[in-house]
Structure 1
Amino acid sequence: MDPTENQCDCTAAPSSPVSGSRATIEYVPVRTIATASQDVLDRVRAIPEGFVRTYGDLSPGAPRFTGTVLRTTTAEVPWWRVVRADGSLAKGARQRALLEAEGVPFAGARVDLRVARIPRDVEPA
């Protein structure tokens, strides 16, 4: 088959097989993943200087998805404003220097989330 003939904008993902039945294939639009990634990047861009959000704030129920998006993007985003749920930093000294330059408060080695975190249910202006 000529690969240019396949114009489907989707990927195949097996559904959960039911005991004693054949597995079916569901097609998930690729745009779903791209849209979710873009939503994460938009949320990161919306974090104002001097504040942070956690990976889970940006992707409730899927914090690792946020990490994957940030790790693989080539877009210009303020990645340093995203911290772990306990306020610790994934990128260490480099991330800390960028946050300190913005005035983000720390409690020891962690961001003071009581002061610097934008609540999950609040969308920054």
Structure 2
Amino acid sequence: MRSDEPDESAAALPDYAERVLDVADLIPPGRVMAYGDVAEWLGEGGPRQVGRAMALYGSAVPWWRVIRSDGVLLAGHELTALAHYREEGTPLREATRASTGHLPRVDMRRARWDGRPPESDADEGDAAHI
């Protein structure tokens, strides 16, 4: 291959993946969105498409903030994600006695982000969608 030929491995990021990563970058520390939430926010695709984009391209963004809707930690990355959650103060549901030895889950009821600016940054009564 000549040095002036484009490198196929450095192909441009697909548009959908770029949009998914942009949403992941917007999620505030301590908050999360489910894969389906991101797809709904974008108005395109579904949870699997978002998951695929995150799996292939998400390492440069706060990937631990885009998760399964049940709050289960990402398989194979549980301890890394858990460290991020604890550092950011993400609400967690600790493992129950019946599941002793299992890792906690993200408390989706308290941690889920709806795309609105944090209350401290928003004007009173402003619930504008980012």
- TM-score bracket for this pair, using the shorter chain length: 0.5 to 0.7
Instruction: Write 1 or 2 for the structure with the bigger share of strand.
Output: 1
Higher radius of gyration, 1 or 2 = 1
> What TM-score results when the alignment is normalised by the length of structure 1?
0.65
| 1: CA distance, partners of 2:112 / 2:58 | 25
Which of structure 1's runs of 4+ aligned residues deviate more than 2 A?
122-125
> What TM-score results when the alignment is normalised by the length of structure 2?
0.63
CA RMSD of aligned residues (A): 2.2
Match of 2:111 in 1: 116
SS in 2 for 1:89: coil
1:50 and 2:34 equivalent? no
| 1: CA distance, partners of 2:58 / 2:64 | 15
1:102 and 2:88 equivalent? yes
Instruction: Write 1 or 2 for the structure with the bigger share of helix.
Output: 2
| 2: CA distance, partners of 1:75 / 1:92 | 15
Q: How many residues align?
A: 92
Write the mapping of 1:22-101 to structure 2, written as runs, cut at 5 A.
34-60=14-40, 62-73=46-57, 76-90=60-74, 91-101=77-87
Unaligned residue ranges in structure 2 (runs of 5+): 1-11, 95-103, 118-129
How far the C-alpha of 1:34 sits from its partner, in A, is: 2.1
Unaligned residue ranges in structure 1 (runs of 5+): 1-30
| 2: CA distance, partners of 1:34 / 1:62 | 16
| 2: CA distance, partners of 1:123 / 1:51 | 11
Match of 1:20 in 2: none
